[in-house]
């Protein structure tokens, strides 16, 4: 990539920016001037007060272009620290514009957050992955072996159903490992993490690691933004806020989230349909994987992702076909999906009932947005395997590169930091989180039933719900 000479004035620099220099010989622009550079063709960011032109780099960025586009035109220091190792800093020099941010300031919250991240890095906590990965891989291998044995060597219907449940449990554990690999927590190098992600994600679960990284990075950057976070965009089936009734435009998907009569109907009963939807949510993930892999969007390692997905759609149908009849095959698949549905519930508990907002994420309130948009699940340490470490959702969002074996130990530190700055730290029991999520869904459902709401209506819908 050819980098711009810092001494050369870019055509996109205004005369004010050129003249706005100080006696120390450095050139400066203001935050308002930085905001003018937030288009895909003119994309600037600031890190620790230094301004970088990432227009071309966005196309090659390992985390995709979505995080850079969502945070364009502002200081992104906290997000950069959260997602990048210390070795990434050396790559910034070639992107430096020669400008510094004139009104760059650091809040007390950010100052404490950066100090905490620096302390973890000095203690090499990001590199110390523990033995959890080995234990998890052994456990998953045992589960998959038991499932295959039950299908191939037993004629009992109930053993077959148990095998389906075991497969669902294995998929849950594999998803946690895939999550770790996607955040470069699982293996020692980026290459091995990529291999692990494709092998255990695409090959064993049928869900593309490329799709996961595309959506998950956007989720982390824009946590609980109704129009920027894809993890809250589930119309026509679910809506966590009445703000979605305004048919917001999804910046992530580039289309309108239409709240039409069909969506109103489904949302009106979402507190009843929530668990059944979670039981078959895996079907949507398969569909999303296929749609992404056949799309025109630039996808890292598209070929490997396609091969891995084809491997899944070879072994899984073959396994199911070994069952004696179609009723058992359908039951086997449904049982495996229902067990895996527990994990979909776990994921939604962390965010559905948390605070939401409309609009793009901001770089200067990184810590605050993570605290308001996440909910932790309280559990005993012996249940950590069941939640994959993601019961410490806030801790994970603040330090996404931190291996899960450290999340419990840093939880008290994060709680103290939240208390110091009067920020929420919400931690509920698994039961309590379910109740709170259902209450959130019920509130939105009742609002959707309100016939005075100016969303599109039809006479059939109104008649059906008049006494509902």
**What is the residue-wise DSSP string for 231-295?**
GG--TTT--SSGGGGG--EETTTTEE----HHHHHHHHTHHHHHHHHHHTHHHHHHHHHHHHHTS
> Which range among 6-20, 303-317, 407-421 shows the weakest confidence by mean pLDDT?
6-20
Q: Mean pLDDT in the chain?
A: 89
Give the residue-averaged pLDDT of 278-296: 95
Predicted pLDDT at 233: 95
pLDDT at 468 over 60: no
Instruction: Give tens-digit pLDDT for 194-245.
Output: 888 899 899 999 999 999 999 999 999 999 999 999 999 999 999 999 999 9
Q: How far apart are CA 7 and CA 58, in angstroms?
A: 22
Whether residue 131 has pLDDT greater than 70: yes
Tokens of 448: 């959707």
Confidence of residue 128 (pLDDT cuts 50, 70, 90): confident
What pLDDT shows up at residue 367?
A: 92
Residue 340 and residue 85: Cα distance in Å, rounded? 32
127 Cβ contact list (under 8 Å, min separation 6): none
Structure tokens at 376: 């932790």
- Between β-strands 38-39 and 42-47, what pairing exists: parallel, antiparallel or unpaired? antiparallel
* Side-chain half-sphere CA neighbours of 26 within 13 A: 13
Q: What pLDDT does 21 receive?
A: 53
Q: What is the pLDDT of residue 22?
A: 53
- Residue from 33, 96, 114, 40 nearest 70 by CA: 40
Cβ(87)–Cβ(344) below 8 Å: no
State the pLDDT at residue 63.
86
State the burial class of residue 298 (Cβ atoms within 10 Å of its Cβ: 0-12, 13-18, 19+): exposed
Asked if pLDDT for residue 305 goes beyond 60, the answer is yes
Q: Provide, rounded to the nearest whole percent, the portion of the chain with pLDDT above 90.
A: 78
- Model pLDDT, residue 300: 86
Q: Is 154 left (phi over 0), alpha (psi -120 to 50) or beta?
A: beta
Q: How confident is the model at residue 79 (pLDDT cuts 50, 70, 90)?
A: very high
In Å, the largest CA–CA distance within the chain is 84
CA distance 196 to 184: 10
Taking only the tens place, the pLDDT of each residue in 164-174 is: 999 999 999 99
What's the pTM value of the predicted model, to 2 decimals?
0.88
Q: What share of the chain in percent tops pLDDT 70?
A: 90
Q: Is the pLDDT of residue 455 over 80?
A: no
Looking at 66-70, 412-416, 437-441, which range is the least confident one?
Answer: 66-70
pLDDT tens-digit series, residues 208-218:
999 999 999 99
Residue 371 has pLDDT above 90, yes or no: yes
| Segment 316-332, tens digit of pLDDT | 999 999 999 999 999 99
The pLDDT value recorded for residue 23 is 52
Which long-range contacts does 320-323 make (Cβ < 8 Å, 24+ apart)?
Answer: 322/151, 322/152, 323/151, 323/160
| 133 SS3 class | helix
pLDDT of residue 456: 44
pLDDT of residue 451: 58
């Amino acid at each position: 990539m050819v980098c711009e000479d810092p001494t050369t004035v870019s055509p996109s620099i205004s005369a004010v920016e050129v003249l706005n220099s100080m006696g120390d010989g450095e050139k400066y622009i203001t935050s308002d001037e930085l905001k003018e550079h937030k288009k895909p063709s003119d994309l600037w960011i600031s890190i620790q007060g230094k301004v970088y032109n990432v227009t071309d780099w966005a196309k090659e960025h390992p985390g995709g272009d979505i995080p850079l586009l969502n945070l364009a035109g502002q200081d992104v220091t906290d997000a950069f620290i959260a997602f990048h190792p210390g070795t990434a800093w050396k790559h910034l020099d070639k992107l430096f514009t020669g400008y510094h941010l004139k009104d760059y300031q650091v809040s007390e919250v950010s100052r404490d957050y950066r100090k905490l991240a620096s302390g973890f890095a000095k203690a090499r906590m990001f590199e110390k992955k523990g033995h959890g990965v080995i234990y998890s891989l052994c456990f998953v291998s045992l589960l998959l072996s038991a499932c295959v044995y039950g299908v191939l060597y037993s004629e009992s219907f109930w053993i077959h159903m148990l095998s389906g449940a075991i497969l669902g449990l294995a998929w849950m554990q594999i998803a946690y490992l895939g999550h770790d690999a996607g955040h470069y927590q699982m293996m020692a190098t980026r290459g091995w993490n990529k291999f692990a992600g494709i092998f255990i994600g695409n090959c064993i679960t049928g869900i593309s690691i490329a799709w996961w990284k595309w959506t998950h990075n956007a989720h982390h950057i824009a946590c609980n933004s109704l129009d920027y976070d894809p993890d809250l965009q589930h119309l026509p089936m679910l809506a966590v806020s009445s703000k979605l009734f305004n048919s917001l435009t999804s910046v992530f998907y580039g289309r309108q989230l239409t709240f039409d009569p069909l969506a109103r109907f489904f949302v009106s009963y979402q507190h009843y349909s929530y668990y059944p939807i979670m039981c078959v949510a895996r079907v949507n993930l398969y569909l999303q994987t296929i749609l992404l892999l056949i799309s025109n969007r630039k996808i890292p390692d598209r070929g490997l992702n396609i091969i891995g997905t084809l491997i899944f759609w070879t072994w899984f149908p073959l396994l199911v076909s070994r069952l004696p009849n179609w009723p058992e095959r359908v039951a086997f698949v449904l049982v495996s999906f229902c067990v895996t549905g527990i994990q979909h519930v776990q994921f939604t508990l962390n965010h559905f009932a948390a605070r939401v907002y409309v609009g793009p994420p901001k770089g200067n309130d990184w810590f605050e947005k993570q605290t308001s948009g996440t909910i932790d699940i309280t559990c005993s340490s012996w249940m950590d395997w069941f939640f994959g470490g993601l019961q410490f959702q806030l801790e994970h969002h603040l330090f996404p590169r931190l291996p899960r074996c450290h999340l419990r130990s840093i939880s008290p530190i994060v709680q103290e930091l939240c208390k110091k700055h009067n920020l929420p730290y919400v931690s509920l029991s698994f039961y309590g989180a379910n109740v709170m999520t259902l209450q959130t869904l019920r509130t939105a459902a009742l609002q959707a039933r309100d016939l005075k709401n100016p969303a599109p209506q039809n006479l059939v819908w109104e008649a059906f719900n008049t006494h509902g």
